[in-house]
Each structure stands twice: as C-alpha cells, then as structure tokens.
Amino acid sequence: MNTVQRVAVVTGAGSGIGRAVALALVGAGWSVALAGRRAEALERTAEAAASPDVLSVRTDVTDPDDVGALFTSVRERFGRLDLLFNNAGTFGPASVPVEDLAYEDWRRVVDVNLTGAFLCAQAAYRQMREQDPRGGRIINNGSVSAHAPRPHSIAYTATKHAMTGLTKSLSLDGRPYRIACGQIDIGNAATEMTGRMTAGTLQANGELAVEPVMAAADVARTVLHMAELPLEANVQFATVLATTMPYVGRG
C-alpha cells in the first residue's frame, strides 16, 4: 500500500460524478477535500466516505474569495495538493433555442463551467508550483459536448469547447513546474443532472429518444487511473461514454 499522503480537491463533490470520484479516491487512500455549494450534500458524501482524511468546504466556484478560502483550508489541513478534479458544472436551461436564451442564463453557465474552472485551476496551479515537492495534476471534466453539441445547448457546448482550450493551456504552462493537466470527456453518466436521458432527450432530427446511460462509478475508475499516473505521464484527453449512446454519428 502507498503510504505517502496524496491530497485531492474535488469540486461539485456533493453528488453525481463528483461524489463518485471522491469516494473512489478515498477508497484508494487519498485525502480528499470536498467542495460544492450545498453543505448538506457535501456532508452526505463525507458520511459515505467514512474517512478521517476528508474535509468538506462549502464553495461557490464562481466566487474568487470562496475559491481562495477553499485552497487555503486544504493547505492548512493537509499541507499540500496533488490533484484537482475540476468537476463543478451546470447544464443551464434545458432545450432553450438560441434566440430565447436569457443573458442571465448564459452568464450563469459560463460563470460556473468556465470561470469557476479557471479560478480553481489557477489556485491549484499556484499551490502546486510553490509546494515542496513541486508539482501536481489537474483533471478537467469536459463532456462529449466538447466535441459535438446537442440541440439547444449553446451555453453548455460553448463552455465545454472552451474547457478544452483551458486544459491545453494549463498543460503547456505547467510543464516547467511538474504540473500535468488532462481532460475527461463524459457521455451519459447516470446522475441527477442526466435524469432526463431515460425519459427522452431531444435529438438533432427533432425527435425525442431515450438514451442509454452508464454508472458514475465507471467514470470514477477512469479518473482514478488518470490521477495515479506518475507526473512524468499524462492522459491528455479521455472519452468515457455509454457504449450505445448517440455520439459517434450524432446528428
């Protein structure tokens, strides 16, 4: 068993993919800081983890002060940071045409999915660069929407395409400091956010279709593999999806 303390921050850890990844990391011996807007949901994840090496920090990733307080808490509790799983995100309004999307809804998706990811990555980068031993890893939660959109999903799709640029820039700029950055693009994991998949999802031809889903634990195993590579190796991009979902050939 690896006895070296490894420390991770997981955003959006109160449910879904974030909870599954946090539990997988704890199960593999990691110390994990759980971040998210809902304190009660974070506590449920912490209870499921049943580990003394779990820290819950209520965090709004769109607030620079909240993000700063999160990483300060991690440094004070654990002394270092080895992994950020940048997972917090929102779909925004479902199936709203471009012409009807309110500015406030566009801004909310951009603030959470893109600005929030940047703020957390920036704070992690600063800590990883200065700590001893230097370095760490950032894994961004992209989406298959980073490659192919769904109808009426312009805000979500735009932010997930932008996440790919964020990942590439962090990966390049982190090289001198042993900071690796990769991205996992997920398709149809069974979570609260994807509940509508089993009821019918709008397709490119205008029809509604029930789509297959996969277990969030399958995603978590992939993140764990990416996280536990030595810093000399990196999974730059990985796509994990329900095998028969309409992605290859979508539209």
Q: pLDDT tens across 114-160, in order? A: 999 999 999 999 999 999 999 999 999 999 988 888 888 899 999 99
Say if residue 61's pLDDT is above 80.
yes
**156 flagged as catalytic:** yes
Closest CA to 239 of 126, 141, 120: 141
What is the CATH number for 25? 3.40.50.720
Domain assignment present for residue 248? The answer is no
What percent of the chain has a predicted confidence (pLDDT) above 90? 77
Choose the catalytic residue: 103, 125, 156, 177: 156
What would you measure as the largest C-alpha separation in the chain, in angstroms?
A: 55
| Residue recorded with tokens 């300060």 | 72
**Whole-prediction pTM:** 0.92
The verdict on residue 32 lying in a domain is yes
The answer to the question of residue 172 being in a domain is yes
Within a domain: 247: no
Query: How many structural domains compose the chain?
Result: 1
What CA–CA distance (Å, rounded) separates 11 from 32? 10
For residue 151, being part of any structural domain is answered with yes
Q: Residue 180's pLDDT is what?
A: 98
Domain that holds residue 169: 7-241
